[in-house]
Amino acid sequence: MSTRLLLHICCGPCSITTLQTLQDQGHDVTGLFYNPNIHPLTEYVKRRDGCLQVAERFGINVIVKDDEYRPQEWFRAVAHRENNRCFHCYAGRLERTAQIARRGNFDFFTSTLLYSKHQKHDDIAALGRDLATSKTRFLYHDFREGWSEGIETSKEWGIYRQQYCGCLYSENERHQRELRRS
Ligand code: SF4
C-alpha cells in the first residue's frame, strides 16, 4: 500500500527528480507551495507556475499557499539574524509543512530543499527530523544525486529557472559584482 507524503516544493526545477524518486519509491505525493521567502512577488509567481507545470507532468496535486505569501512576516522572522537567515528560512517553511502534514494525516513530509547543492543540506535534514512525530514522519533522502538530471530536464521542459535563491538578500549578493563594476 502506498504511503501519503506531503512534499514542500520550492520551485519547478528542484521538484523534477525529487518527484521522480518519490514516485519510484511508491509514495502518493501531494505538493505544497509555501515560500514567503521569494521576493519580489513577480518572482514568486514565476516559481509557483514552474512548480505547477512540473506537478502537472507528474499528475500530482499541489496545495498553493498564495494566501500566506506575506514577505513582511518573513522579514520579521530573520530580522537581526541575517547572517543565519537561511536556518530561520528553512525552519519557517518546514514547520508549516509539518503542521499541514499532521493536520492532513500524511504519513511523511519532506522538502525539495534537500535537492539543492546550494542549500545547507544537514541543517534541513536536522530540522525535518526535529519536526517529525511518530505518525507523521520526516522522509530524508539525499535528492542531490538527481542534480544534473534535474537541470537538464528543466531546460528541456522549459521550466522557469531562477538566478538567485529567493530572498532580497540573495538577489543582492548575486548582483554585488555589478554594483562594484558600476
Ligand atoms: S538565501 Fe535562500 S534559504 Fe537563505 S534566507 Fe534567502 S531565500 Fe532563504
Listed in sequence order, the residues at least 6 apart from 77 whose beta carbon sits closer than 8 Å to its beta carbon are: 88, 89, 92
Q: Which protein residue has the closest C-alpha to ligand 1 atom 2? A: 165
3-state class (DSSP) for residue 7: strand
The pTM score is 0.96
3-state class (DSSP) for residue 35: coil
Q: Say how many CA atoms lie within 13 Å of 88 toward its Cβ.
A: 15
Q: Look at the chain and count its residues.
A: 182
Q: Which residue in 52, 55, 31 sits closest to 106, CA to CA?
A: 31
Q: What integer pLDDT is reported at residue 2 of this predicted model?
A: 85
Distance CA 39, CA 17 (A): 25
In the predicted structure, residue 168 carries a pLDDT above the cut 80: yes
Q: Identify whether the C-beta of residue 53 lies closer than 8 Å to the C-beta of residue 12.
A: yes
How many other β-carbons are positioned within 10 Å of the β-carbon of residue 124? 22
Is the beta carbon of 94 within 6 A of some atom in ligand 1? no
5-32 mean pLDDT: 98
Is the beta carbon of 166 within 6 A of some atom in ligand 1? yes
- Residue 136 CA to ligand 1 center (angstroms) comes to 26
> What does the mean pLDDT of the chain come to?
96
Q: Is 148 exposed, middle or buried (0-12, 13-18, 19+ CB in 10 A)?
A: exposed
- In the chain, what are the domain boundaries? 4-181
Q: What is the pLDDT of residues 57-103, one digit of tens each?
A: 999 999 999 999 999 999 999 999 999 999 999 999 999 999 999 99
Is the beta carbon of 170 within 6 A of some atom in ligand 1? yes
In the predicted structure, residue 182 carries a pLDDT above the cut 90: no
Q: What integer pLDDT is reported at residue 80 of this predicted model?
A: 97
165 in a labelled binding site: no
Q: What is the pLDDT of residues 24-50, one digit of tens each?
A: 999 999 999 999 999 999 999 999 999
Q: Which of 86, 112, 123, 175 to mutate to test the pocket of ligand 1 (most atoms within 8 A of CB)?
A: 86
Ligand 1 atom closest to the CA of 78, numbered from 1? 5
Is the beta carbon of 86 within 6 A of some atom in ligand 1? yes
Q: Which residue has the cell 562594484?
A: 180
Q: Which protein residue has the closest C-alpha to ligand 1 atom 6? A: 167
In this prediction, what percent of the chain has a pLDDT beyond 70?
A: 99
Q: Is 166 exposed, middle or buried (0-12, 13-18, 19+ CB in 10 A)?
A: buried
**What's the pLDDT band for 18 if we cut at 50, 70, 90?**
very high
Is the beta carbon of 89 within 6 A of some atom in ligand 1? yes
Taken in order 31, 127, 18, 83, the sign of the CA dihedral is positive
Q: Which residue has the cell 538577489?
A: 171
4-181 fold? Rossmann fold (3.40.50)
Q: What integer pLDDT is reported at residue 45 of this predicted model?
A: 98
In the predicted structure, residue 160 carries a pLDDT above the cut 90: yes
167 in a labelled binding site: no
